Structure 1
Amino acid sequence: MQTILGASGQIGRELAACLRRDFTDDIRLVSRRPQKVDDRDQLFAADLLEAGQALRAVEGARIVYFTAGLPMDTRLWVAQWPVLMTNVIDACATHGAKLVYFDNTYMYPQTARPQTEDTAFQPNGDKGRVRGAIARQLLDAMSSGRVEGMICRAPEFYGPGMTQSITNTTVIDNLRAGRKARVFLRDDTLRTLIYAPDASRAMALLGNTPDAYGQTWHLPCEDQRLTYRQFVALAAEAFGVEPRYTVLKRWQLSLAGMFDRRIRDAAELLPRYEADNVFVSDKFKRRFPEFQVTSFKQGLEAIAGQA
């Protein structure tokens, strides 16, 4: 059995579809209120903050994918992420399940220096610090032999369905609704973005590749990087609208943060929009040269084709 913890998010749902299509018919979806992606999926309702529930959710699994997320609330992240990681590691260790962890880049330095799997952690705030800490917690469990696992790390993503990211929320959703896109700080720095279904498809492949374990993997992104100015133009073309956008300055975001906790809690990520963001996924591409990465044009046209 292959089990997805945090299966209700867009990454988890896409992952379930990929696993069933390419690897297994025995899938368990775990979340507080799980919903089937396929009629044959097994559902298991669990709160992973409860150790006993996490233990039961993992029982019988051969491979566990940890794709759970938390709301953009710094206090919640600091309090809950270490508990979640501890419970998941303990459950996998108890049942002898392999662990595939879907991670982000919040712990990386927010500079123009290329980011590889060997990039040292240099977080810019509490969210980055806690994500770095739980990544190290898993790496320690792997190196000590407690669990057989891997880290699958992705930059900011964009995609179809209910994908939640800054790019989806501020650019894609606005353009599709006929409104101006909103861009943070600058429109001329290069962005690395991953198409959400590609992240899920790559993670399914890695999880079912025995020699991929014991490592950190950057999930595959298009080699071409675009500025937000270019991305808005390409998205507008796909959606059949004018490429209208506004660049939000720091003072505007600070003012908005006084009234919106989500914007205030995203403040530690702002430096990455002031510099080129160069996330390197060459390791994955060398190991899996047959994997087809979705181009920005293809991804945006797929989003445009949604009902």
Structure 2
Amino acid sequence: MTNHAVLGGNGVIGRETISALLARGHSVSSVGRSASVSAGATSVVADLLDAASVMKAVKGAEVAYLTVGLLYSTKVWRRDWPVIMQNTIDACLAHGTRLVYFDNVYAYGRTDAPMTESTPIRPSSRKGVLRASLLGTLDAVARERGLDVTVGRSADFYGPGAATSAFNTFALDYVAKGKPPVWLFDSNQPHSMTYTPDIGEALAVLGTDERARGRTWHLPTAAPALTGAEYLELATGGELAHKTMTATTMRVGALFVAEARESLEMAYQYTAPYVFDSSAFESTFGIAPTPYREGIAAAQEQASVLTR
């Protein structure tokens, strides 16, 4: 049994990672700004923006997982992400702890081809530039100071209790309330989505399987990617019409709603094919992603419970 520390343990990715590690019989610390919500994990209340707090939280852990989610704001990301990353790096180096970093695809930017681990880092948004800079920091520290780091990357995610997922928010939650679900920008484009329990299982693999060390991996994501309309068909059973939030609507909304302003620069992910290839992970570790029909049903059941 090894000791694992999940930084951001109260978020949906942190919770799923903790669950997967506990199921494997490991000792897990859930690190967050408030007490842990995960039964079986040791609760560590810490501020990831405070270096001493992170140093203390990581002490004794053989593997640390950086799964924290920040407010969806470029200003907040620029202010907080470099601090959190540096604090985590320093703590891992000080304690000889392996780092597993949960990443998204923003650093790839616009691409016409399916995204693989070999896709060039060419960000085309402010958030993408920030995410690319974090990867650059990790690469430099690994090369120059010997940081043992593995990156697990997912597409847009969805799943039970995934409150920050656009699909959960605009589709599953709306259906649970009897409202027509909404897709962003263009519902005719294929768009890969990664199931959050699969992310947790995969991050646990990256932290416990020697074959994973020191590489970037795309986490298991069902293929082929469905179109937005097909996802909404699964979410509604064909019983509710769906709506598309157009670019014009988003621009108007951006005048009043911060989340809409922050989403506009990412519109390219919805106006062209967004296809994510996780075949390297699947073939190496023998783990298949959850089919969309099954994942959406589970997430939808949870959404219905929360709206009762």
Matches within 5 A, 1:227-306: 227-237=227-237, 242-289=239-286, 291-306=287-302
Deviations 1:233-283 (A, max 9, x none): 01112xxx7232111221110000110111101111101101011111111
What is the deviation of 1:94? 0.4
Alignment partners' CA distance in 2, 1:304 and 1:166: 14
Q: Which amino acid aligns with 1:186?
A: D
What is the deviation of 1:112? 2.9
Residue aligning to 2:177: 177
What is the deviation of 1:301? 1.7
Residue aligning to 1:22: 24
Alignment partners' CA distance in 2, 1:108 and 1:101: 16
Give ranges in structure 1 of 5+ residues lacking alignment: none
Aligned-residue CA RMSD in angstroms?
Answer: 1.3
User: Which runs of 4 or more aligned residues in structure 1 lie more than 4 Å from their structure 2 counterparts after TM superposition?
Assistant: none
Query: Residues 29 and 44 of structure 2 are in contact (CA less than 8 Å); yes or no, is this contact kept in structure 1?
Result: yes
Change (3 A) 1:305 1:166: closer
Alignment partners' CA distance in 2, 1:273 and 1:77: 22
What is the deviation of 1:48? 0.9
**SS of corresponding position for 1:152:** strand
State whether structure 2 residue 114 is matched by structure 1 residue 114: yes
Corresponding pairs, count: 301
Q: Which amino acid aligns with 2:283?
A: R
**SS of corresponding position for 1:226:** coil
Alignment partners' CA distance in 2, 1:284 and 1:98: 19
Residue aligning to 1:223: 223
Q: Which amino acid aligns with 2:290?
A: T
State whether structure 2 residue 3 is matched by structure 1 residue 6: no
Deviations 1:182-210 (A, max 9, x none): 11111110010011110111110111012
Q: Which amino acid aligns with 2:190?
A: L
Alignment partners' CA distance in 2, 1:114 and 1:98: 30
Alignment partners' CA distance in 2, 1:206 and 1:227: 30
Q: Which amino acid aligns with 2:36?
A: Q
Alignment partners' CA distance in 1, 2:102 and 2:25: 18
When normalised by structure 1's length, the TM-score is 0.95
Residue aligning to 1:35: 36
Matches within 5 A, 1:188-207: 188-207=188-207
What is the deviation of 1:143? 2.5
What is the deviation of 1:141? 1.8
Deviations 1:156-196 (A, max 9, x none): 01100244211111111111211111111111100100111
What is the deviation of 1:119? 1.2
Give ranges in structure 2 of 5+ residues lacking alignment: none
**SS of corresponding position for 2:151:** strand
Change (3 A) 1:162 1:230: closer
Query: Residues 36 and 42 of structure 2 are in contact (CA less than 8 Å); yes or no, is this contact kept in structure 1?
Result: no
Alignment partners' CA distance in 2, 1:41 and 1:157: 24
Give me the identity figure in percent. 33
Change (3 A) 1:168 1:36: closer
Query: Residues 163 and 196 of structure 1 are in contact (CA less than 8 Å); yes or no, is this contact kept in structure 2?
Result: no
Change (3 A) 1:70 1:208: same
Deviations 1:118-137 (A, max 9, x none): 21122222211111100121
Alignment partners' CA distance in 2, 1:89 and 1:34: 23
Residue aligning to 2:79: 79
Segment of structure 1 superposing worse, 56-65 or 116-125: 116-125
What is the deviation of 1:146? 2.6
Change (3 A) 1:186 1:36: closer
Query: Residues 7 and 34 of structure 1 are in contact (CA less than 8 Å); yes or no, is this contact kept in structure 2?
Result: no
What is the deviation of 1:145? 4.4
**SS of corresponding position for 1:190:** coil
Alignment partners' CA distance in 1, 2:143 and 2:176: 46
Q: Which amino acid aligns with 1:295?
A: P
